[in-house]
Chain A
Amino acid sequence: MITIRNLQKRYGETVALKGINLEVSKGELFAYLGPNGAGKSTTIRILTGLTKMSGGSAELAGFDIESDAMNAKLQFGVVHQYVNLDQELTVLENLDLHGQLFSMRKRQRSEKIAVLLDYVEMADRAKTLVKDLSGGLKRRVTIARALLHEPTILFLDEPTVGLDAAIRRRIWALIKKIQQQGTTIFLTTHHIEEAEFLAQRVAFLDEGRIVALDTPENLMQEVGSWAIDQLAGSEMTTTYFKNRQEADRFQVTEGFTLRRVNLEDVFLSLTEKKVLSC
């Protein structure tokens, strides 16, 4: 559904993407993770036509994003990390204009908007000005808007950034629901637990390269099953273990936390490897 081959992006002397290769299958929920400046948003901006690539190619549902841009754009919806709604317009007007941009007929727009507002539990807010909505509600409108033209691919660039834990969980449930209906989802996030909860496969991006790509379970297994966090002075150290027995045998002198390994550990171990190799 999403094919990326040797994707490169340079901004002058800075190389943001150093040859990304990736395949995302139909209906998959794929998480694209990495630290700030790793190139996550740049990848999404290229795939959605906002930024020019410096090299390589990409296809969305079989349509080349450069040579067949119009058809490629019909295939996806995008939710950016910022809320790019018209604040002075109502929820309904924002959605309706989006439908018009995608050449949807008036009746089709009205029907679909009603369904989607219901879907994101905002049917009673249709005539509210966007500027009067909370951050979480604005985010739900951007998701509804991205789904309006019935895309087969949904790009979610940090969809829960700046939202509190309760609202984040509601957005996660919504994302799961969208994926269960067959939409391919390409997600970038800073919240590692978000990827762990939602994604079927995960890619870790660092300095413009993919440094790991697998299912969350496989990636976590490479690190271990259990972890002990210890505070030594002002520094936190984490030790990983293959099983609980090994962890139980580990001698700790001060306060510690025994817990299951998570994707954050994968992320940290990848980063540490990089630091050690420097």
Chain B
Amino acid sequence: MPLPAPPIPDPKRAVLATEDWIEYRTGYPTLVRKFLFRKVPHTGWFHTLGSSLLTVFILQATTGILLAMSYDPSPAGAYQSIRYITDDQTFGWLIRGMHKWGASVMVILLFLHMGRTFFYGAYKYPREMTWLTGSLIFISVMGMGLTGYLLVWDQRAYWASVVAININGTAPVLGPFISKFLLSGPVFNYLTISRFYALHMLAIPSAIVALIFVHMWLIVKLGVTPWPSRPVEGEVDR
């Protein structure tokens, strides 16, 4: 007597079973679904600036990690290691170029995103905290620009950083202490580049990641800001 044919495996059921397995143990599928498939008002291209920023930040983090694998944050070796990355390493020119241009793109997008938020009135009740966390991200990104600029360690990087540090020094009372904090001493020294490196790749990015989580949570909780206009009869999503 022939055995019954084994059931044909159903890939859809296999996927769903896996998802259920994860769902029961972590709840992540629900979290992701609620995050991705939430209701949003009528949006336009201006609403894509925030997620563009997030994308550029992820690119900066990725290329930054790759660059850190070949970078030597010391006065004697920094410039040579940058030369090596740019000229000799496989696709080093691409990774460094992405990081360099990505930095500018991020600042530009940040200003556009901030402008969109401002002109849409999206900073108003109940989204004040979203604006404030965004402002902290803005300051952090400026800090990334300042600390990253020195790491190239060419003449422009060096003198631009000297000027930036001295600008901090001109603030009354606290200024001189801030500049010595940035210099890691009373004058430009061997530790300055290490300090900028640590701030650039550890301290400030951690702060940005934490702030992004808070920022995103508030966006999900409060919803995307609709266009600033009077409600229209019959439209429900405003």
Verify that A and B bind, or say they do not: no
